[in-house]
Amino acid sequence: MGRSVSDNLKKRFGDPVRIEIRYAKEKISPSEELYRSEQLSKAYAGVLKGVLGREPTQDEIMGRRVFRRK
| Coil, strand or helix at 56 | coil
14-47 pLDDT per residue, tens: 777 666 777 778 888 999 989 989 999 999 999 9
**Rounded distance, CA 58 to CA 26, Å?**
31
Q: Whole-prediction pTM value? A: 0.54
**Rounded distance, CA 63 to CA 32, Å?**
25
| Residue 68 phi, psi (nearest 5) | -135, 135
Distance of CA 19 to the CA centre of its chain: 10
Sequence ranges of the domains in the chain: 27-70
> What per-residue confidence (pLDDT) applies to 69?
56
> What per-residue confidence (pLDDT) applies to 25?
80
> What per-residue confidence (pLDDT) applies to 60?
83
What one-letter code names the amino acid at 7? D
